[in-house]
Amino acid sequence: MTRPRRRRPRRIHGRRSRGQLAADQQAQRQRRRARRVRALVYLAGLRLRTGERDAAVALLAEVNALELSVADREALATDLATAAELAVELGS
């Protein structure tokens, strides 16, 4: 008796299956969010040091408005703590 042939996952974009491609896209979105948070926090600190308090407040509000998963918050804990310190310094 012969065994039934196992179907191989359908390949898209070279050697990636659909599941792998979706996982890669999700990871890329998470990296983009992380870069955005880091950039916004850095820019808010820079604006605060140059005396542009309103711009710093707006940037920190944008950081707070971003929807981050628990994993994102854990990965960005240092940056989010810096944002909280800047907010305290601004008195907002």
pLDDT-flagged residues of the chain (< 50) = none
Domain ranges of the chain: 13-90
**pLDDT value of position 16:** 66
Q: Given this model, what pLDDT does residue 19 score?
A: 81
The 3-state DSSP class for residue 17 equals strand
What is the pTM (predicted TM-score) of this model? 0.74
Instruction: Return the pLDDT at 7.
Output: 72
